Structure 1
């Protein structure tokens, strides 16, 4: 027997008013603006709200939009997970469109929320985060999967001090900005970014794999906790595609950097590894490393990379010593300690590999197995490479 959800009417006004759903819903339910959802439902039709739309006020609730659209009037929140104590856990919002609000989704003090199969558009002109994690208290275990965020005016995700263990998988982000600061362990897998920016500020254990970045620079900086992994991604059409600054022990492996100004720019980051990447047609350089600060530096490992036809249209940048940055792999190793092995460079403008000899008393750079083919200035020092 099909049984409709029981609807309990409570005082209207804001996200705490409207109707609360009690009992399981076995058929689509018509919702109205301002309702608090306390049991799993499937939405029956489209909804337009001039302010806030729906909120979720109980654990283990699934809000299935049923392929429908919740549309705002240019402000407010589409779906909010109510800030409660104890925190709300196990919420899922899925299968629909949330558009034209200040923020499509807002959550605070939520545990294990999942947003999947959604189209989120902040086309209202309000520079609010599409997914707003608030500030305090802490939300954790946020999962965003198979979701598209398009045409945002502000931040796509703004997560600062208050979010742990965010996972974004197989999602598309176009426009706006993704910003994480002082949170732990964001993970991006199989995602697509275009015309956006991604910033990890004072982060740790960040993992980005199998994702595509088109005109979408990634910046990882600010004395982060380190141990970050960028693996198997494609970066293209950016000024500097990946910037790593003042963060230790990062792994940049198996990525493709093509048609940027600079592929990877690294500064004062001890113990980083750049290995097995492909760099091609980056106008100034495939890799640009600067080791100039007073902090102790671990070994930079640059190994088994391929750099082809980089440095053909340099932007005029110079290293701290005043020399032009130009070529496949350009390493300003003032304090030394770089391991440069088994890289293959070909047809690069400037140098195939440039590695500044360290200052006296600093650890020596070590090299072996590097091959240069028809690079304009070959390698420096000359014995850094063999030539074909």
Structure 2
């Protein structure tokens, strides 16, 4: 982790979800008992109590309500099938629903949690050590302070729904893959910081405070919808993030990055930005190709901080901007090819430090001249 990575207040803000997870992990304590019934999938029925350690695959046969501090402890590699039932805790200020044991002396198998609801805990899932591999499939997580959390954990989240959590999924130094899942009304939906990765595909983030945040991790987001979030994606040094074929609609902020030396430029391909506040606020190098911007207050803005630049470059290739406020406002060095800005109420193309690669079009924009920094046709 770079020594200077937390030197700006913005870095702390972007790390907030991951920092929150790590703080919550410190509150994890051992379990107490309260009776409930479960049925092992591979052996005779067993009686499970709150605080039990599950050493073999098991399927719950009834809802399980625990007073805390721990619901169940899962041995590494087991499958907990919630059987469509609810694992309910004492509320979002106390307790951990599931603690996954980790033995790093051997290869760590995947622990699976599936088919049910976890609600009303401080943490939905925690681990005894870093290195856990956890699959959450067809799981609903709600009303937790920290949902699928951990430090140095590998999570795969499939076909799941996370709602009304303070921090729904992620942590520090973790690797999180989200597939075909939904995040609604979380303060922080998905956040990883300090190292690791975020991979999201085929998912929906709706009405969250911050939908996705990353700091010093790799990130790829594909075929995902961001709807009415305050901040759809916030990135701090996210090592060449790649966003492909996503839809950003009605967010206050679409994609916002922060200043700093990057390990690679961000790549945005075939995304659609509709009716957002600022669609893209760029503070690091980016390559944008075949993206569409319609009805945003600002299409793309790139204004340098007071610090010296790290040779940032914005390249626009075959993007279209219509009916926005300002379409393109870039004060950095840039390269523009086949950029179309039509019918925007503010600037069409303002890129005074641009290299003109040709084929740019601007007309019907509210601020004259139609183009600054490049030559534009009106057709």
Distance 1:155 1:172, change over 3 A: same
- What's the Cα RMSD here? 2.6
CA contact (8 A) 2:240 2:267 kept: yes
Cα displacement (A) at 1:61: 0.8
Q: State yes or no: 1:94 paired with 2:114.
A: yes
Cα displacement (A) at 1:129: 0.8
TM-score, normalized by length of structure 1? 0.79
CA contact (8 A) 2:299 2:328 kept: yes
CA contact (8 A) 2:125 2:148 kept: yes
1:385 is aligned to: 376
Structure 1: state its 5+ residue gaps.
1-12, 312-326, 359-363
CA contact (8 A) 1:30 1:44 kept: no
1:237-267 CA-partner distances (Å, limit 9, x unpaired): 2222110223441011111111111100102
2:22 is aligned to: none
Segment of structure 1 superposing worse, 90-99 or 242-251: 242-251
Query: CA separation in 2, counterparts of 1:192 and 1:76?
Result: 28
Q: State yes or no: 1:234 paired with 2:234.
A: no
Distance 1:299 1:92, change over 3 A: same
1:74-127 CA-partner distances (Å, limit 9, x unpaired): 12111110254537531100001111111122224243210110111116xxxx
1:194 is aligned to: 206
Secondary structure at the aligned position of 1:91 is classed as strand
Query: CA separation in 2, counterparts of 1:331 and 1:277?
Result: 16
Cα displacement (A) at 1:296: 3.3
CA contact (8 A) 1:259 1:280 kept: yes
1:301-340 CA-partner distances (Å, limit 9, x unpaired): 11111111000xxxxxxxxxxxxxxx1111112xx2x110
Distance 1:53 1:383, change over 3 A: closer
Equivalent residue for 1:118, pick from 133, 136, 139: 139
Cα displacement (A) at 1:148: 0.4
Using CA pairs below 8 Å that are at least 6 residues apart, which structure has the higher relative contact order? 2
Distance 1:380 1:345, change over 3 A: closer
2:24 is aligned to: none
CA contact (8 A) 2:225 2:246 kept: yes
2:335 is aligned to: 339
Q: State yes or no: 1:44 paired with 2:58.
A: no
Query: CA separation in 1, counterparts of 2:343 and 2:182?
Result: 35
**Greater Rg over alpha carbons, structure:** 1
Query: CA separation in 2, counterparts of 1:69 and 1:18?
Result: 15
Distance 1:50 1:18, change over 3 A: closer
Cα displacement (A) at 1:225: 5.1
Cα displacement (A) at 1:72: 1.1
Count of residue pairs brought into register by the alignment: 335
Distance 1:150 1:82, change over 3 A: same
Query: CA separation in 2, counterparts of 1:309 and 1:22?
Result: 59
Distance 1:66 1:28, change over 3 A: farther
Distance 1:343 1:266, change over 3 A: same
Structure 2: state its 5+ residue gaps.
1-28
Cα displacement (A) at 1:353: 1.1
